[in-house]
Amino acid sequence: MIKLYCYVDETGQDTAGELFLVAVVLKEAHEVDFLEKRLEEIEAETGKKQLKWKKASNKIKKSYLKEISQLKELKQTVYYSIYRSSKEYSKLTSLTIAKTVLSKGLDDYSVHIIIDGLNNKEREIVRSELKTLRIKYGKIRGMRDQQSVFLRLADAMAGFLRDIAEEKLYTSEFVISFKNSEILVEN
């Protein structure tokens, strides 16, 4: 059985449903340790550290994105979906997780799901939705992004993708490099 780790963050609840974006970092268990160390090194080298994306300066964002875009181990690791005109945040988060896991085409797997800031009510919605969508999960839990480099990566990618959608100037130089690196996968 293949064990997967799925780290999830979202952005856009402040837009009252106008834009809701979910970013999912999905890796096999055996890949997590090496990547965790490398991501922590990149956070330290670029000055991003444990900053949330929206609080990082453009200089830090650009430095971080440059390093991340060159990390070959991230190829087809960050999946995302953009939704408009809906406030069904927990259901949309579940749908994005399901689309991401199913895109791997695995039959014999179990996924451990960690969602930034997940509360008990949201956990039950996600659990119910994932059962309906026939996702084989081991555990669903909430965690703060300060606790996990992978949640911080999901936060950064969600923030970066939102900044692209909002046409922030700094993003233009990274759109092509991220497309070429195949790190980001829209589903």
Cα angle value 14/63/37 (rounded, 5°):
90
Number of domains into which the chain is organized: 1
Share above pLDDT 70 across residues of the chain, in percent, rounded to a whole number: 100
Q: How many CB atoms lie within 10 A of CB 176?
A: 10
d(CA 184, CA 75): 8
pLDDT at 142: 96
pLDDT at 156: 98
Q: Residue 28 belongs to what domain range? A: 2-186
CATH number for the domain spanning 167: value is 3.30.420.10
pLDDT digits (tens, 9 = 90+) for 31-71: 999 999 999 999 999 999 999 999 999 999 999 999 999 99
Read off the pLDDT band of 145 (50, 70, 90): confident
Residue 13 has pLDDT above 90, yes or no: yes
Q: CA end-to-end span of the chain, whole Å?
A: 24
